[in-house]
């Protein structure tokens, strides 16, 4: 299943040339992951309160393929590649029309209050498959 998240590029997202500043793609895919989690019915605040477990990005491998510009409407596609006991591997693509502008492979891990690895709650693992 692929989650779709639409956003518009604002002036604040761009550099002097009106091109999206490279670090902002990470913000775009973070927003999309947060919305994907929400659509699965996972309340991250409640998960932290109930289990002490939170999500943290462990690794991102990113490719910048084409620039996005001021006022572009973009779509972030998020799909699950693998889910283990403590990790979620995702593929996220930032698209404009049918063109892929940015692609990333993201590893998200579960950690506890002390920052150590933790198991994902079983019900959450099931939702992500």
Active site positions, annotated: 15
CB-based contact 118:52 (threshold 8 Å):
yes
18: left (phi over 0), alpha (psi -120 to 50) or beta: left
**Number of residues that this document lists for the chain:** 129
E strand map for 1-96 = 2-8, 54-64, 73-83, 87-96
SS3 assignment, position 126: helix
Dist CA 97 CA 76 (whole Å)? 11
Burial degree of 113 (CB within 10 A; 0-12, 13-18, 19+): exposed
């Amino acid at each position: 299943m692929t989650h779709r998240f639409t956003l518009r590029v604002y002036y604040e997202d761009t550099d002097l040339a009106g091109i999206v500043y490279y670090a902002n793609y990470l913000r775009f895919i973070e927003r999309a992951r947060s919305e994907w989690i929400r659509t699965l019915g996972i309340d991250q605040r409640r998960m932290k309160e109930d289990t002490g477990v939170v999500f943290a990005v462990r690794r991102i491998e990113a490719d910048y393929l084409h620039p996005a510009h001021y006022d572009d409407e973009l779509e972030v596609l998020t799909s699950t590649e693998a889910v283990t006991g403590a990790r979620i591997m995702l593929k996220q693509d930032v698209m404009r029309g049918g063109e892929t502008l940015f692609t990333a492979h993201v590893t998200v891990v579960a950690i506890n209050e002390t920052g150590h690895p933790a198991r994902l709650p079983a019900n959450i693992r099931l939702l992500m498959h």
